Chains A and B, each alone.
Chain A
Amino acid sequence: MIIAVALDSAGPPAVRDFIRPASIELPPLMKDGMGWDDGFTSRAGVPQYPCLIDQKHIVGELYEFINVPMVVWIDEKGRVVRPAEPAGVAEDIVRAMDPKTYQVPKKATDEGKRLRRAYVDAIRDWVAKGDRSEFALAPEEARRRAGGPSDTDALATANFRLGEYLFEKGHRDDALKFFAEARRLRPDSWSFKRQTWELEHAGKAAGPEFFAEVGELGDKHYYAPLKMKGSAK
Protein backbone atom coordinates (compact mmCIF):
# COMPACT_ATOMS: atom_id res chain seq x y z
CA MET A 1 0.00 0.00 0.00
CA ILE A 2 1.44 3.34 -1.02
CA ILE A 3 0.25 6.60 0.51
CA ALA A 4 1.71 9.63 -1.20
CA VAL A 5 1.61 12.88 0.74
CA ALA A 6 2.28 16.16 -1.00
CA LEU A 7 3.75 18.70 1.40
CA ASP A 8 2.24 21.69 -0.33
CA SER A 9 0.92 24.78 1.38
CA ALA A 10 -0.55 25.94 -1.91
CA GLY A 11 -2.98 23.02 -1.80
CA PRO A 12 -4.72 21.08 -4.60
CA PRO A 13 -4.05 23.58 -7.41
CA ALA A 14 -0.33 23.12 -6.87
CA VAL A 15 -0.36 19.35 -7.09
CA ARG A 16 -3.28 18.55 -9.40
CA ASP A 17 -1.25 18.28 -12.57
CA PHE A 18 1.33 16.07 -10.88
CA ILE A 19 -1.31 13.58 -9.75
CA ARG A 20 -3.59 13.78 -12.78
CA PRO A 21 -1.34 15.04 -15.52
CA ALA A 22 -2.80 16.29 -18.76
CA SER A 23 0.07 14.48 -20.43
CA ILE A 24 2.22 11.65 -19.15
CA GLU A 25 5.27 13.04 -20.86
CA LEU A 26 7.89 13.38 -18.17
CA PRO A 27 9.72 16.63 -17.56
CA PRO A 28 13.47 16.28 -18.14
CA LEU A 29 14.13 16.71 -14.43
CA MET A 30 12.24 13.50 -13.67
CA LYS A 31 13.90 11.61 -16.49
CA ASP A 32 17.42 12.78 -15.86
CA GLY A 33 17.41 13.79 -12.26
CA MET A 34 15.39 11.00 -10.76
CA GLY A 35 16.26 8.25 -13.19
CA TRP A 36 12.67 7.65 -14.30
CA ASP A 37 11.94 6.53 -17.82
CA ASP A 38 8.92 6.64 -20.11
CA GLY A 39 8.29 2.93 -19.67
CA PHE A 40 8.06 3.27 -15.92
CA THR A 41 5.69 6.19 -16.16
CA SER A 42 3.39 4.69 -18.75
CA ARG A 43 3.04 1.63 -16.54
CA ALA A 44 2.26 3.74 -13.54
CA GLY A 45 -0.15 6.18 -15.20
CA VAL A 46 -2.40 8.10 -12.84
CA PRO A 47 -1.79 6.75 -9.34
CA GLN A 48 -4.43 4.39 -7.97
CA TYR A 49 -3.24 4.80 -4.39
CA PRO A 50 -4.21 7.64 -2.04
CA CYS A 51 -2.50 10.90 -2.99
CA LEU A 52 -3.00 13.21 -0.05
CA ILE A 53 -2.35 16.89 0.32
CA ASP A 54 -0.71 18.18 3.47
CA GLN A 55 -1.07 21.96 3.29
CA LYS A 56 0.20 22.50 6.81
CA HIS A 57 3.09 20.03 6.62
CA ILE A 58 1.59 18.04 9.49
CA VAL A 59 3.01 14.75 8.25
CA GLY A 60 6.30 16.52 7.67
CA GLU A 61 6.46 17.32 11.37
CA LEU A 62 5.18 13.94 12.56
CA TYR A 63 7.69 11.94 10.54
CA GLU A 64 10.60 14.39 10.20
CA PHE A 65 10.36 14.82 6.46
CA ILE A 66 12.92 17.58 6.09
CA ASN A 67 13.26 17.13 2.35
CA VAL A 68 11.46 15.45 -0.53
CA PRO A 69 11.24 12.78 -1.70
CA MET A 70 11.43 10.92 1.59
CA VAL A 71 9.80 7.68 2.63
CA VAL A 72 8.80 5.82 5.80
CA TRP A 73 8.04 2.12 5.93
CA ILE A 74 5.18 1.11 8.24
CA ASP A 75 4.26 -2.51 8.90
CA GLU A 76 0.83 -4.09 9.34
CA LYS A 77 0.80 -3.30 13.06
CA GLY A 78 1.49 0.38 12.49
CA ARG A 79 5.13 0.07 13.52
CA VAL A 80 7.80 2.09 11.74
CA VAL A 81 10.38 -0.31 10.34
CA ARG A 82 12.35 2.31 8.43
CA PRO A 83 12.12 5.94 9.61
CA ALA A 84 12.19 8.85 7.20
CA GLU A 85 14.94 8.53 4.62
CA PRO A 86 15.57 9.80 1.09
CA ALA A 87 13.74 7.44 -1.22
CA GLY A 88 16.37 6.12 -3.56
CA VAL A 89 17.80 9.38 -4.81
CA ALA A 90 21.45 10.17 -5.37
CA GLU A 91 22.68 12.28 -2.47
CA ASP A 92 24.28 14.94 -4.65
CA ILE A 93 21.99 14.90 -7.66
CA VAL A 94 21.06 18.53 -7.09
CA ARG A 95 24.66 19.63 -6.91
CA ALA A 96 25.28 18.02 -10.28
CA MET A 97 22.29 19.79 -11.83
CA ASP A 98 22.70 22.75 -14.15
CA PRO A 99 20.85 25.61 -12.38
CA LYS A 100 19.53 27.00 -15.64
CA THR A 101 18.66 23.97 -17.73
CA TYR A 102 18.19 21.47 -14.86
CA GLN A 103 20.20 19.02 -16.94
CA VAL A 104 22.12 16.39 -15.01
CA PRO A 105 25.32 14.73 -16.25
CA LYS A 106 24.97 11.11 -17.30
CA LYS A 107 27.14 9.87 -14.45
CA ALA A 108 24.73 11.36 -11.93
CA THR A 109 21.73 10.14 -13.89
CA ASP A 110 23.06 6.60 -13.89
CA GLU A 111 23.66 6.77 -10.17
CA GLY A 112 20.08 7.99 -9.65
CA LYS A 113 18.70 5.09 -11.66
CA ARG A 114 20.86 2.58 -9.79
CA LEU A 115 19.73 3.86 -6.41
CA ARG A 116 16.07 3.99 -7.37
CA ARG A 117 16.16 0.40 -8.60
CA ALA A 118 17.96 -0.73 -5.46
CA TYR A 119 15.36 1.05 -3.34
CA VAL A 120 12.39 -0.44 -5.21
CA ASP A 121 13.96 -3.91 -4.96
CA ALA A 122 14.34 -3.42 -1.22
CA ILE A 123 10.67 -2.47 -0.89
CA ARG A 124 9.65 -5.55 -2.85
CA ASP A 125 11.80 -7.71 -0.60
CA TRP A 126 10.11 -6.26 2.48
CA VAL A 127 6.64 -6.69 0.99
CA ALA A 128 7.44 -10.37 0.31
CA LYS A 129 9.26 -11.20 3.53
CA GLY A 130 8.03 -8.74 6.14
CA ASP A 131 10.16 -8.62 9.27
CA ARG A 132 12.42 -11.33 7.83
CA SER A 133 13.52 -8.93 5.12
CA GLU A 134 17.05 -7.72 5.62
CA PHE A 135 15.77 -4.24 4.82
CA ALA A 136 13.33 -4.14 7.75
CA LEU A 137 15.36 -2.55 10.53
CA ALA A 138 15.57 -4.02 14.00
CA PRO A 139 13.67 -1.80 16.47
CA GLU A 140 16.89 -0.57 18.11
CA GLU A 141 18.31 0.55 14.78
CA ALA A 142 15.02 2.09 13.65
CA ARG A 143 14.86 3.99 16.94
CA ARG A 144 18.43 5.16 16.58
CA ARG A 145 17.78 6.44 13.07
CA ALA A 146 14.46 8.06 13.97
CA GLY A 147 16.18 10.71 16.08
CA GLY A 148 13.81 13.60 16.44
CA PRO A 149 13.69 17.37 16.64
CA SER A 150 15.70 19.49 19.02
CA ASP A 151 14.04 22.31 20.95
CA THR A 152 15.34 24.68 18.28
CA ASP A 153 13.87 22.50 15.52
CA ALA A 154 10.49 22.57 17.28
CA LEU A 155 10.72 26.35 17.51
CA ALA A 156 11.47 26.45 13.78
CA THR A 157 8.33 24.44 13.12
CA ALA A 158 6.28 26.83 15.28
CA ASN A 159 7.61 29.77 13.27
CA PHE A 160 6.79 28.00 10.02
CA ARG A 161 3.27 27.21 11.18
CA LEU A 162 2.52 30.71 12.41
CA GLY A 163 3.93 32.11 9.18
CA GLU A 164 1.72 29.79 7.18
CA TYR A 165 -1.32 30.85 9.21
CA LEU A 166 -0.59 34.52 8.63
CA PHE A 167 0.06 33.89 4.94
CA GLU A 168 -3.28 32.17 4.60
CA LYS A 169 -4.97 35.11 6.33
CA GLY A 170 -3.43 37.48 3.81
CA HIS A 171 -0.70 38.93 6.03
CA ARG A 172 2.01 38.09 3.53
CA ASP A 173 4.78 40.41 4.69
CA ASP A 174 4.31 39.44 8.32
CA ALA A 175 4.33 35.77 7.33
CA LEU A 176 7.63 36.11 5.50
CA LYS A 177 9.36 37.19 8.70
CA PHE A 178 8.32 33.99 10.43
CA PHE A 179 9.31 31.94 7.40
CA ALA A 180 12.76 33.51 7.47
CA GLU A 181 13.08 32.68 11.14
CA ALA A 182 12.02 29.07 10.51
CA ARG A 183 14.73 28.75 7.86
CA ARG A 184 17.33 30.33 10.15
CA LEU A 185 16.47 28.04 13.06
CA ARG A 186 16.38 24.85 11.01
CA PRO A 187 18.81 25.20 8.13
CA ASP A 188 18.79 21.45 7.44
CA SER A 189 15.12 21.54 6.46
CA TRP A 190 14.91 21.90 2.72
CA SER A 191 11.17 21.46 3.12
CA PHE A 192 10.94 24.71 5.06
CA LYS A 193 13.34 26.50 2.74
CA ARG A 194 11.80 25.51 -0.53
CA GLN A 195 8.16 25.68 0.57
CA THR A 196 8.55 29.17 2.01
CA TRP A 197 10.54 30.40 -0.97
CA GLU A 198 7.84 29.09 -3.28
CA LEU A 199 5.16 30.90 -1.31
CA GLU A 200 7.25 34.05 -1.53
CA HIS A 201 7.17 33.82 -5.28
CA ALA A 202 6.53 30.97 -7.67
CA GLY A 203 9.67 29.34 -9.00
CA LYS A 204 11.94 30.52 -6.20
CA ALA A 205 12.11 27.00 -4.73
CA ALA A 206 14.15 25.91 -7.75
CA GLY A 207 15.67 29.27 -8.57
CA PRO A 208 19.04 30.93 -8.01
CA GLU A 209 18.58 31.21 -4.23
CA PHE A 210 18.07 27.48 -4.02
CA PHE A 211 21.14 26.62 -6.04
CA ALA A 212 23.18 29.19 -4.12
CA GLU A 213 22.24 27.47 -0.85
CA VAL A 214 23.05 24.08 -2.33
CA GLY A 215 26.44 25.48 -3.31
CA GLU A 216 27.05 26.46 0.30
CA LEU A 217 26.57 22.93 1.62
CA GLY A 218 30.32 22.36 1.69
CA ASP A 219 31.03 18.81 2.77
CA LYS A 220 27.37 18.08 3.49
CA HIS A 221 25.10 16.20 1.12
CA TYR A 222 21.82 17.52 -0.21
CA TYR A 223 20.22 14.17 0.64
CA ALA A 224 21.58 12.13 3.53
CA PRO A 225 23.33 9.09 2.11
CA LEU A 226 21.02 6.09 2.21
CA LYS A 227 22.04 3.47 4.74
CA MET A 228 20.82 0.40 2.93
CA LYS A 229 22.46 -2.71 1.51
CA GLY A 230 23.02 -2.23 -2.19
CA SER A 231 23.02 1.55 -2.06
CA ALA A 232 26.75 2.11 -1.51
CA LYS A 233 28.72 3.25 -4.54
Chain B
Amino acid sequence: MTMRNRNDEECDMATDIIYGGRVSEIDGAMAEGDNLWLSNASLKRASGWELKPEGACMGDMCIPIPPGRATEFVRDNRRGFNLAALARYLGQPVVHDDKNRAWYFGEAAATRRASLASLQAPDFELPDLDGKMHRLSDYCGKKVLLAAWASW
Protein backbone atom coordinates (compact mmCIF):
# COMPACT_ATOMS: atom_id res chain seq x y z
CA MET B 1 0.00 0.00 0.00
CA THR B 2 1.33 3.42 -0.88
CA MET B 3 0.73 6.67 0.96
CA ARG B 4 -1.54 8.00 -1.75
CA ASN B 5 -3.81 5.00 -1.58
CA ARG B 6 -4.61 5.51 2.10
CA ASN B 7 -6.77 8.52 1.64
CA ASP B 8 -6.65 10.11 -1.76
CA GLU B 9 -9.04 12.92 -0.89
CA GLU B 10 -7.03 13.99 2.12
CA CYS B 11 -3.76 13.70 0.23
CA ASP B 12 -4.97 16.08 -2.46
CA MET B 13 -4.92 18.99 0.00
CA ALA B 14 -1.68 20.70 0.86
CA THR B 15 -0.51 20.91 4.46
CA ASP B 16 1.45 23.86 5.79
CA ILE B 17 4.36 22.63 7.87
CA ILE B 18 6.38 25.12 9.88
CA TYR B 19 9.65 23.55 10.94
CA GLY B 20 12.75 25.42 12.05
CA GLY B 21 10.83 28.64 11.43
CA ARG B 22 10.42 27.80 7.72
CA VAL B 23 7.03 27.23 6.10
CA SER B 24 6.63 24.44 3.54
CA GLU B 25 3.47 23.62 1.67
CA ILE B 26 3.41 19.86 1.38
CA ASP B 27 1.11 17.83 -0.84
CA GLY B 28 0.25 14.32 0.20
CA ALA B 29 0.85 14.69 3.94
CA MET B 30 -1.51 12.65 6.06
CA ALA B 31 -2.58 13.90 9.45
CA GLU B 32 -3.93 11.23 11.79
CA GLY B 33 -4.65 12.67 15.19
CA ASP B 34 -1.35 13.89 16.59
CA ASN B 35 0.65 12.10 13.90
CA LEU B 36 1.81 13.54 10.60
CA TRP B 37 2.88 11.06 7.96
CA LEU B 38 5.07 12.22 5.10
CA SER B 39 6.78 10.62 2.15
CA ASN B 40 10.56 10.62 2.36
CA ALA B 41 10.82 13.40 -0.20
CA SER B 42 8.31 15.55 1.67
CA LEU B 43 10.02 14.80 4.98
CA LYS B 44 13.28 16.20 3.68
CA ARG B 45 11.64 19.20 2.07
CA ALA B 46 9.62 20.13 5.13
CA SER B 47 12.12 19.43 7.88
CA GLY B 48 15.55 18.58 6.53
CA TRP B 49 15.32 15.08 8.03
CA GLU B 50 15.82 12.03 5.81
CA LEU B 51 15.01 8.42 6.51
CA LYS B 52 18.13 6.30 6.05
CA PRO B 53 18.94 2.73 7.06
CA GLU B 54 20.55 4.04 10.27
CA GLY B 55 17.48 6.12 11.22
CA ALA B 56 16.26 9.68 10.76
CA CYS B 57 19.22 11.74 9.63
CA MET B 58 20.02 15.40 9.18
CA GLY B 59 23.52 16.21 8.00
CA ASP B 60 25.95 14.10 9.99
CA MET B 61 23.47 13.40 12.77
CA CYS B 62 21.30 10.29 12.77
CA ILE B 63 18.61 9.37 15.28
CA PRO B 64 18.05 5.59 15.33
CA ILE B 65 14.40 4.55 15.39
CA PRO B 66 13.81 3.46 19.01
CA PRO B 67 13.78 -0.35 19.27
CA GLY B 68 10.29 -1.81 19.39
CA ARG B 69 8.66 1.46 18.29
CA ALA B 70 9.18 1.29 14.54
CA THR B 71 5.46 1.41 13.75
CA GLU B 72 5.20 4.81 15.46
CA PHE B 73 7.78 6.21 13.09
CA VAL B 74 7.69 4.37 9.77
CA ARG B 75 5.13 2.54 7.68
CA ASP B 76 4.35 1.54 4.12
CA ASN B 77 7.59 -0.37 3.81
CA ARG B 78 9.55 2.70 5.04
CA ARG B 79 7.98 4.98 2.45
CA GLY B 80 6.06 6.92 5.07
CA PHE B 81 7.58 8.67 8.09
CA ASN B 82 5.83 10.23 11.07
CA LEU B 83 7.50 13.61 11.60
CA ALA B 84 5.40 14.33 14.68
CA ALA B 85 6.62 11.14 16.36
CA LEU B 86 10.22 12.12 15.74
CA ALA B 87 9.59 15.63 17.06
CA ARG B 88 7.99 14.28 20.23
CA TYR B 89 10.89 11.85 20.67
CA LEU B 90 13.29 14.80 20.46
CA GLY B 91 11.26 16.83 22.95
CA GLN B 92 10.04 19.34 20.38
CA PRO B 93 6.62 20.90 20.94
CA VAL B 94 4.15 20.04 18.17
CA VAL B 95 0.91 21.94 17.61
CA HIS B 96 -1.53 21.51 14.76
CA ASP B 97 -4.72 23.00 13.43
CA ASP B 98 -6.64 20.33 11.55
CA LYS B 99 -9.17 22.72 10.08
CA ASN B 100 -6.53 24.74 8.27
CA ARG B 101 -4.08 21.86 7.85
CA ALA B 102 -1.26 23.68 9.56
CA TRP B 103 1.45 22.13 11.78
CA TYR B 104 4.02 23.92 13.89
CA PHE B 105 7.17 22.22 15.17
CA GLY B 106 9.03 24.22 17.79
CA GLU B 107 12.44 24.00 19.35
CA ALA B 108 12.86 21.62 22.28
CA ALA B 109 12.95 23.38 25.63
CA ALA B 110 16.12 21.48 26.55
CA THR B 111 17.84 22.82 23.43
CA ARG B 112 16.84 26.36 24.31
CA ARG B 113 17.97 25.95 27.91
CA ALA B 114 21.33 24.60 26.76
CA SER B 115 21.72 27.56 24.45
CA LEU B 116 20.96 30.01 27.24
CA ALA B 117 23.33 28.20 29.60
CA SER B 118 26.14 28.49 27.05
CA LEU B 119 25.89 32.30 27.44
CA GLN B 120 26.65 32.64 23.73
CA ALA B 121 24.20 35.23 22.44
CA PRO B 122 22.11 33.51 19.77
CA ASP B 123 22.29 35.21 16.41
CA PHE B 124 19.22 36.51 14.61
CA GLU B 125 18.37 38.55 11.56
CA LEU B 126 15.60 41.15 11.56
CA PRO B 127 14.59 44.12 9.44
CA ASP B 128 14.56 47.74 10.50
CA LEU B 129 11.82 50.17 9.55
CA ASP B 130 13.27 50.59 6.04
CA GLY B 131 13.41 46.86 5.48
CA LYS B 132 17.19 46.72 5.81
CA MET B 133 18.25 43.47 7.43
CA HIS B 134 20.49 43.44 10.50
CA ARG B 135 22.18 40.48 12.13
CA LEU B 136 23.34 40.55 15.71
CA SER B 137 26.63 39.08 14.50
CA ASP B 138 27.13 42.20 12.33
CA TYR B 139 27.99 43.96 15.58
CA CYS B 140 30.53 41.42 16.85
CA GLY B 141 33.43 43.25 18.49
CA LYS B 142 31.13 45.80 20.09
CA LYS B 143 29.25 45.72 23.33
CA VAL B 144 25.55 45.36 22.57
CA LEU B 145 22.63 46.40 24.69
CA LEU B 146 19.77 44.37 23.24
CA ALA B 147 16.58 46.12 24.29
CA ALA B 148 13.12 44.63 23.76
CA TRP B 149 10.10 46.90 23.63
CA ALA B 150 6.70 46.96 21.95
CA SER B 151 4.06 49.37 20.77
CA TRP B 152 1.34 47.53 22.63
Residues of A within 8 A of B93 (CB): 151, 154-155, 157-158
Query: How many residues on chain B are close to A (CB under 8 Å)?
Result: 52
A71/B147 in contact, CB under 8 A: yes
Q: How large is the interface on A (under 10, 10 to 19, 20 to 34, 35 or more residues)?
A: 35 or more
In the assembled complex, how far is the CB of residue B116 from the closest CB belonging to chain A, in whole angstroms? 4
Docked pose: A77 CA to B126 CA in angstroms: 20
Residues of B within 8 A of A178 (CB): 95, 97
A52/B149 in contact, CB under 8 A: no
Residues of B within 8 A of A51 (CB): 128-129
Please encode chain B, from 94 to 106, with 1 for each CB lying within 8 Å of some chain A CB and 0 for all others: 1111011011111
Residues of A within 8 A of B104 (CB): 158, 161-162, 165
Given A5-B126, A206-B152 in contact, is the A166-B97 Cβ separation under 8 Å? Answer: yes
Docked pose: A70 CA to B145 CA in angstroms: 10
B120/A69 in contact, CB under 8 A: no
| Chain B contact surface mostly | mixed
B148/A7 in contact, CB under 8 A: yes
In the assembled complex, how far is the CB of residue A36 from the closest CB belonging to chain B, in whole angstroms? 13
B99/A78 in contact, CB under 8 A: no
B127/A61 in contact, CB under 8 A: no
Residues of B within 8 A of A73 (CB): 143-146
Q: In the complex, what residue of chain B is closest to A130 when comparing beta carbons?
A: B143
Docked pose: A10 CA to B151 CA in angstroms: 9
Q: In the complex, what residue of chain A is closest to B98 when comparing beta carbons?
A: A174
Cβ of A92 within 8 Å of any chain B Cβ, yes or no, is: no
Given A150-B109, A151-B109 in contact, is the A53-B148 Cβ separation under 8 Å? Answer: no
With beta carbons under 8 angstroms apart, the residue of B21, B141, B146 that contacts A76 is: B141
Docked pose: A4 CA to B124 CA in angstroms: 13
Stretch at the interface among B48-56, B68-76, B132-140: B132-140
A149/B124 in contact, CB under 8 A: no
A-side residues, CB < 8 A to B, are 1-8, 10, 12, 14-16, 18-20, 50-54, 56, 58-65, 68-80, 83-84, 87, 123, 126-127, 130, 139, 142-143, 146-151, 153-155, 157-159, 161-162, 165-166, 169, 171, 174, 178, 191, 194-195, 197-198, 205-206
Inter-chain pairs besides A51-B129, A70-B148, 14 sampled, C-beta below 8 Å? A1-B139, A2-B144, A15-B129, A19-B129, A58-B126, A59-B146, A71-B147, A74-B146, A83-B116, A149-B113, A154-B109, A158-B105, A165-B23, A174-B97
